[in-house]
Structure 1
Amino acid sequence: MTTLLISDLHLHAGAPEIAEGFLAYLERQARHAGALYILGDFFEAWIGDDYQGAFETRILEALAQLTQGGTRLYFMHGNRDFLIGDGFAQATGATLLPDPSIVDLDGERVLLMHGDSLCTRDEAYMKFRAMARDPQWQAQILALPVEQRLELAKNLRSQSGEANSNKAEDIMDVTPDEVIATMATHGVRTLIHGHTHRPAVHELEVDGEVARRMVLGDWQPNQGWEIRAEDGGGLELRRFAL
């Protein structure tokens, strides 16, 4: 049975090519898989399960059709869609995963993360992450009227873009020591994450053993990224045309 892992689609109505490519991906690839894992930043922004425009509704309906067809769906929050909750899970048939989570892929214990918690050199972002993942802060945001939440999401995206444009490239990447410490703590030799938009397979050493960090890429109008796990066939990072 095939397991698929994707992340960082940043879906929104202003990028119809990526949305249409994803819907085609569900029909052509995901519906034939045993499971699909989405490791965060699935949407460019999510202001709460109580708000769904026509675009969001179409995506959720497609995910529901996927799970109704027998494909298991797992979702992990990213830094863009951390307000996804039980309403999303109920509407789509998805299982919400904590970050990090350990799963079995092709007989191996594999650590799954969104990846942002590994970027510890970006101190400003880590402060924001701690606030944004706080249940009390989230409850305060969700209590705001929809119009205010939409404006807040717009402002946060703008501030994030401005801040990132002034940061050194290495600050926005993972901290190598944090990666090794995290893998050692969880006793794994394979880590899969997204967030950094730097798709690659990195070899490293954890507790004297060979290990690997597999990084999913972000989707563009002409291409997507996945990790495909086949029973007996290992794990493969793949780029494909949308």
Structure 2
Amino acid sequence: MRYLFISDLHLEAKRPDITRAFLQCLRDQARGVDELYILGDFFEVWLGDDAIDELGRQVTDALAALSDQGVRVYVMHGNRDFLLGRAFCRQAKCTLLRDPSIVDLNGEPVLLMHGDSLCTDDLDYMRMRKWLRNPLSRFTLRNLPLRTRQKIGRKLRDESQSRTRLKAADITDVNLGEVAQVMRNEGVRTLIHGHTHRPARHELVIDGEPSQRIVLGDWDQAGWYLLVDDEGYHLESFALNTTDSSGTL
């Protein structure tokens, strides 16, 4: 079987180049795969399924069309789109995936995460994440007037960008001890995640066993995807104005 993984597209109306690249990716890279996994921060911001706009409809239509072709589509919450809900999934004909989740990829159990929960050195963010991911907080946010949600969304995004610029790079990256502990607890040798915008394949040794952590790239200067097939794991990038591969790790 063939599996495709993407994350951190941060789709928004002011970046139509990323939307075009995503739609092209569905036509090209997703052709012939059995399953597509979107591991969070699919949208730059998602204010609730009742606030779906033209971009949202375009994306849900494209995912639904892919599903109709026989590709199973899975979406995981990120820190920007944690309000994605059942209505979105119905329209996109996709399944909402719990973070973290273990899936079987050609006989190997593989751990999938968005990745933000691994950044335990960023104490400010972890406190904010705990509040935002609380079911009561999400219920409250979903039921606020749309205009209020828009204001809160802009405020959270601006504050997040400001804080990230001021923090050292190692603070906003994953904690390697946390990575090892999570993989040990889940009994896996492969972890796939996004969030950090640091695409790479990291060879690890956990409890004497060879392991790996694969980080998906963000779609800004280039698009990124991970293809998993019988031959292994292929992390690739491509220019946003074309689907020609421009690099492989």
Fold conserved between structures, TM > 0.5: yes
Matched, 1:57 2:30: no
Shift of the alpha carbon at 1:29?
A: 2.0
Shift of the alpha carbon at 1:106?
A: 2.4
Match of 1:113 in 2: 113
Cα distance in structure 2, aligned partners of 1:49 and 1:240? 30
Instruction: Specify the code of the residue in structure 2 equivalent to 1:176.
Output: L
> Does the CA contact (< 8 Å) of 1:203 and 1:211 recur in 2?
yes
> Does the CA contact (< 8 Å) of 1:38 and 1:74 recur in 2?
yes
Cα distance in structure 1, aligned partners of 2:87 and 2:95? 11
Cα distance in structure 1, aligned partners of 2:69 and 2:190? 30
- SS at 1:121 equivalent: coil
Shift of the alpha carbon at 1:31?
A: 3.5
> Does the CA contact (< 8 Å) of 1:106 and 1:234 recur in 2?
no
Instruction: Specify the code of the residue in structure 2 equivalent to 1:239.
Output: S
Shift of the alpha carbon at 1:203?
A: 1.1
The percent identity for this pair of structures is: 52
- What are the equivalent positions in structure 2 for 1:72-221 lying under 5 Å apart? 72-220=72-220
Cα distance in structure 2, aligned partners of 1:118 and 1:199? 15
Q: Can you give the 5+ residue segments of structure 1 that lack an aligned partner in the other structure? A: none
Cα distance in structure 2, aligned partners of 1:144 and 1:85? 15
- The alignment's TM-score, normalised by the length of structure 2, stands at 0.94
Matched, 1:26 2:51: no
Match of 1:234 in 2: 232
**Paired residues, what number?**
240
Cα distance in structure 2, aligned partners of 1:192 and 1:205? 16
Cα distance in structure 1, aligned partners of 2:239 and 2:3? 19
Cα distance in structure 2, aligned partners of 1:28 and 1:165? 35
- The alignment's TM-score, normalised by the length of structure 1, stands at 0.97
Q: Can you give the 5+ residue segments of structure 2 that lack an aligned partner in the other structure? A: 241-249
Q: Where do 4+ consecutive residues of structure 1 move more than 2 Å?
A: none
Instruction: Specify the code of the residue in structure 1 equivalent to 2:145.
Output: P
